[in-house]
Amino acid sequence: PNKLAQPTIAGGATAAELADLDRRHLIRSMPNGAVTERVVIVRGEGCTVWDADDNELLDAAGGGVWHSPIGHGRRDMAEIAAAQMSRIEFFTSLYEFSNDQAIRLAARLAQLAPEGIERVAFSSGGSEAVETAIKAARLYHHRRGEPDRTWILARHYAFHGATYGSGTATGFPPMQFGVGPNLPHVEKLSPPYLYRADQLYPDQDPTDFLIAELEETIARIGAGNIAAMLGEPVMAGAGVLAPPADYWPRVREVLSRHGILLIADEVVTAPGRLGEWFMSDKLGMQPDMITMAKGIAGGYAPLGATLMRDEIADALLRDGGFFHGYTFQGHPVACALGLATLDIIEREDLLGNARRIAGWLRSGLAPAVDLPVVGDLRVEGTLAALELISEPVHRTPMGWDQVIAVAFEVRRAHGVIVRPYGSNLVLAPPLVLTEAEARRATAATVEVLRRLHPDGTLAPC
Ligand code: PLP
């Protein structure tokens, strides 16, 4: 067959043609090949997006992977990108070179970051930012004369990325299956999962259990062999799991006592998604490093950042230097968009709106709590998870395929985008969501959940 005789590729292709081309050529991540439908998104404005058939959809998922804080299709962002591109698109920041936008964004992030965090290494996304943090933790200890400190502690159910380091630290076995050997010296701890506290830590205070497990793990591996612990302040992909108030302060105390660094993975939570610039600050983590990505440039360009204390950065940069970096680190277009995103969050009071959204999500989703298929409702800032169950005694998680079907039904029946994450249905709207949009998104979600039977089947509308 003549490859050049394929259907129209540039412009003018119909939605059906685009879907065919997608199925034929594009590899995207999804749980399995069973998802055959294609919704080809072609434009957006605020919290609304349109597909190639011009169907309007309300984005209650923050662009799908909770990465969109300031809404879609903004002209002000397009103008900033165009202005920067016409000045200069990119020049390396290796050796003596640097660029004004990366310098400004690093300084601005240092200003907003928790006390003591002053330095920034840029990358192109969350996995890369986590990868940088893992390497930085190991090299820091190496330079300090403790080269055996190589182990990384992470937690089951956490998501940290898809590269080998970040993917091994991820507590989601399909990430590691069939692609091994994965990164050695990574150990997983239990997550703070209060909905299942009686099952996971019977007859114990959750924090007492988790701290005892941490202490036992450190004793087993040996404190002198552990570089860092990596954790999200609030676990997003695990289903919006917030820890008890004393969890992070107590973890921090144990780690400090053993000379172990704490890396806060704020790829989802910063900037602003939970109504604070940085959630690690609020929860008493006092991190040594912070990773950011997703919403840092509003979703208008890929950008990641690894923030760290001076002492760590100084150790990396002395002796042989930090032989680690990515071609597009500190990309000036992405960094200009990062600065603009922070300005917009400030100017439009989006931290305040994130807190208002939390209230709207809580009240809008409250009627779902008594449904037999809803085990738990968790709302933290603009993140909401409804954990779906198929029976109430053991609270057996609803199957992934059924949760996917529920999310699809919310879109098909109501034109609202919510997302499946394991047994959780997740809402994570842009921080510009209005009260009316919140009402529409939550009502759509509740309506479909009312039609969901514990066996996973959906009654018709
Ligand atoms: N860290 C967290 C907490 C995440 O949720 C994700 C992605 O979902 C990542 C890291 C990886 O980020 P990326 O997909 O940009 O590589």
Which of left, alpha, beta for 54 (phi over 0: left; psi -120 to 50: alpha)?
left
Q: Are residues 367 and 307 in the same domain?
A: no
DSSP tally for the chain: helices H, then strands E = 14, 16
What share of the chain in percent tops pLDDT 70?
97
In a domain, 461, yes or no: no
pLDDT of res. 319? 87
pLDDT of res. 320? 85
**Which CATH number do you get for residue 395?**
3.90.1150.10
Residue type, 201: Y
- Residue among 65, 155, 159 to mutate when testing ligand 1 (max atoms within 8 A of CB): 159
Which atom of ligand 1 lies nearest, measured to the CA of 163? 16
pLDDT of res. 6? 60
Choose one of 281, 316, 347: the last residue of a domain: 347
Contact yes or no for 293/129 (Cβ under 8 A): yes
C-beta atoms surrounding 330 within 10 Å: 26
Given a cut of 60, is residue 425 above it in pLDDT? yes
Q: Are residues 127 and 205 in the same domain?
A: yes
Given a cut of 90, is residue 342 above it in pLDDT? yes
Per-residue pLDDT tens for 164-220? 999 999 999 988 999 999 999 999 999 999 999 999 999 999 999 999 999 999 999
What separation in Å is there between the alpha carbon of 110 and the centre of ligand 1?
21
Q: Is the CB of 154 under 6 A from ligand 1?
A: no
241: which residues sit within 8 A by CB, 6+ positions away? 157, 191, 192, 193, 194, 234, 235, 378
pLDDT of res. 8? 60
* Residue owning the nearest CA to atom 7 of ligand 1: 161
State the number of CA atoms in the 13 A half-sphere of 214 facing the CB: 28
What separation in Å is there between the alpha carbon of 434 and the centre of ligand 1?
26
Given a cut of 80, is residue 35 above it in pLDDT? yes
Q: For all residues of the chain together, what is the average pLDDT?
A: 95
Given a cut of 80, is residue 356 above it in pLDDT? yes
Q: Are residues 104 and 192 in the same domain?
A: yes
Q: Is the CB of 133 under 6 A from ligand 1?
A: no
In a domain, 10, yes or no: no
Q: Are residues 250 and 392 in the same domain?
A: no
Which atom of ligand 1 lies nearest, measured to the CA of 304? 15
> If DSSP codes are grouped into helix, strand and coil, which group holds residue 267?
coil
* Domain count for the chain: 2
Which atom of ligand 1 lies nearest, measured to the CA of 161? 11
pLDDT of res. 151? 99
In a domain, 23, yes or no: no
Q: Check residues 13 and 446 and name the one with the higher pLDDT.
A: 446
Which atom of ligand 1 lies nearest, measured to the CA of 130? 10
Three-point CA angle 299, 71, 59, nearest 5°: 100
Q: Is the CB of 293 under 6 A from ligand 1?
A: yes
Q: Are residues 196 and 316 in the same domain?
A: yes
Given a cut of 80, is residue 238 above it in pLDDT? yes
Q: Check residues 9 and 143 and name the one with the higher pLDDT.
A: 143
Q: Are residues 371 and 238 in the same domain?
A: no
Q: Are residues 315 and 371 in the same domain?
A: no
What separation in Å is there between the alpha carbon of 293 and the centre of ligand 1?
7
Would you say the ipTM is above 0.95? yes
pLDDT of res. 4? 66
Q: Is the CB of 169 under 6 A from ligand 1?
A: no
Cα–Cα dist 130/136, whole Å: 10
What separation in Å is there between the alpha carbon of 126 and the centre of ligand 1?
5
Q: Are residues 323 and 212 in the same domain?
A: yes
Q: Is the CB of 102 under 6 A from ligand 1?
A: no
Contact yes or no for 160/230 (Cβ under 8 A): yes
pLDDT of res. 5? 63
Buried (b) or exposed (e) across 363-384, using 16+ Cβ within 10 A?
ebbebbeebebbbbbbbbbbbb
Q: Is the CB of 268 under 6 A from ligand 1?
A: yes
Q: Are residues 185 and 254 in the same domain?
A: yes
Q: Are residues 370 and 288 in the same domain?
A: no
Q: Are residues 46 and 88 in the same domain?
A: no
Q: How confident is the model at residue 341 (pLDDT cuts 50, 70, 90)?
A: very high
Q: Are residues 370 and 273 in the same domain?
A: no
- Residue among 157, 274, 289, 294 to mutate when testing ligand 1 (max atoms within 8 A of CB): 294
In a domain, 29, yes or no: no
Q: Is the CB of 265 under 6 A from ligand 1?
A: yes
pLDDT of res. 196? 98
Q: Is the CB of 267 under 6 A from ligand 1?
A: yes
- Structural domain for 216, as ranges: 78-347
- Residue among 66, 68, 235, 268 to mutate when testing ligand 1 (max atoms within 8 A of CB): 268
Is residue 302 reached through a cis peptide bond, with omega within 30 degrees of 0 on the bond before it?
Answer: no
Q: What predicted TM-score, i.e. pTM, was given to this entire model?
A: 0.97
Q: How confident is the model at residue 461 (pLDDT cuts 50, 70, 90)?
A: confident
What separation in Å is there between the alpha carbon of 461 and the centre of ligand 1?
35
* Residue owning the nearest CA to atom 10 of ligand 1: 160
Given a cut of 90, is residue 13 above it in pLDDT? no
Q: Is the CB of 191 under 6 A from ligand 1?
A: no
Cα–Cα dist 148/134, whole Å: 14
Q: Check residues 24 and 329 and name the one with the higher pLDDT.
A: 329
